């Protein structure tokens, strides 16, 4: 109650795996591929300033959303899980664009950018349901952990 009241993520289903494969091969010219979309309902107990959702909550949403993006990516192309191990966030950068007010609904869109060895790059957007307001954008680097010997 009053916190993160709804947090539902859905993976995008891609009929054409060529764009995902192109990004997996590290093609820096490849267009990012939307791999997951989330519907978020925030309450009134996640504020920084009065009436405005705290930026730390937004960073938490981005970090978790991009983790879901990785899971969606694996469902789209299981061959990408060549290492077969866990991934962790190595870097997360956020640009805040507009205040997200308490008791708001928002959409999180996660895009797979590319992979380079154990590194996986994502970007994401947090926006209003109508797409008119961009609240924040993020980029991240996830790293596949090496298997323990």
Residue pair 81/74 in contact by the 8 Å Cβ criterion: yes
Q: Is 63 designated active site? A: yes
Q: Which of 27, 39, 63, 95 is catalytic?
A: 63
Q: Strand (E) positions, 43-133?
A: 87-96, 105-116, 119-127
Specify whether the CB–CB gap between 17 and 78 falls below 8 A.
no
Residue 118 C-beta-side C-alpha neighbours within 13 Å: 13
Active site residues: 63
């Amino acid at each position: 109650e009053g916190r993160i009241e709804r947090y539902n993520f859905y993976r995008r289903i891609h009929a054409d795996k060529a764009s995902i494969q192109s990004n997996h091969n590290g093609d820096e010219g490849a267009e990012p591929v939307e791999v997951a979309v989330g519907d978020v309902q925030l309450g009134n107990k996640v504020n920084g300033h009065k009436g405005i959702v705290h930026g730390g909550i937004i960073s938490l949403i981005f970090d978790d959303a991009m983790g879901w993006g990785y899971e969606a990516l694996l469902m789209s192309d299981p061959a990408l899980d060549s290492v077969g191990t866990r991934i962790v966030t190595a870097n997360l950068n956020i640009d805040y664009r507009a205040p997200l007010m308490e008791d708001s609904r928002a959409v999180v869109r996660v895009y797979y950018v590319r992979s380079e060895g154990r590194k996986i790059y994502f970007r994401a957007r947090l926006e209003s349901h109508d797409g008119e307001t961009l609240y924040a954008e993020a980029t991240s680097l996830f790293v596949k952990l090496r298997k323990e010997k």
